[in-house]
Amino acid sequence: MELAEQIVEACEEEEGEFKFLYGLGIPIRERILRVAREVYGADGVDYTREANKKIDRLERDPSTSNMPVCMVKTHLSLSHNPDMKGRPTRWRLPIRDILTYYGAGYIVPVAGDIRLMPGTSSNPAFRNIDIDPEAGTITGLS
């Protein structure tokens, strides 16, 4: 069977039993916990004080309280620790920060010591750049 025929056949299959892991109406910490337990195999989640404060703020804001969660962690393990191979057991997922990507519409918990790519900050440097048209100068580049 040719690839094109396989694709058509796959598209014509009846829908499976897909269901979302969580509904957007549940609290943010519960969404994170479900991902940690059901997907990564963690026993639970631990938050820094900063992460807890950010979650509290996000849950009070109707524009962010129902955003889905997109986790940031190492790609080398199901855990936050690249040395923990396979599907580790008896561990807790540490969340050190919470980023919010308003344009994309995601709340992004940051697990462990993962380093983020430049430009993925929740407060990018471009916000500090301005042009003074009268003086013809640019500020905020240094």
Q: Which tens digits make up the pLDDT trace of 11-48?
A: 888 877 788 999 889 999 999 999 999 999 999 999 99
**DSSP per residue, 121-132:** -SS-GGGG-EEE
Confidence check: pLDDT of 112 > 90: no
Query: What's the predicted TM-score (pTM) here?
Result: 0.71
**pLDDT in the model for residue 120:** 52
Phi-psi region of 133 (alpha: psi -120 to 50; beta: other; left: phi over 0): alpha
pLDDT at 121: 62
Q: Does 141 or 51 have the greater pLDDT score?
A: 51
Structural domains of the chain sorted by starting position, each given as residue range(s) with its CATH number in brackets: 22-117 (3.10.410.10)
User: Taking the CB of residue 127, how many other CB atoms lie within 10 A of it?
Assistant: 9
- In the predicted structure, residue 98 carries a pLDDT above the cut 60: yes
Residue whose C-alpha is closest to residue 55's, from 96, 22, 93: 96
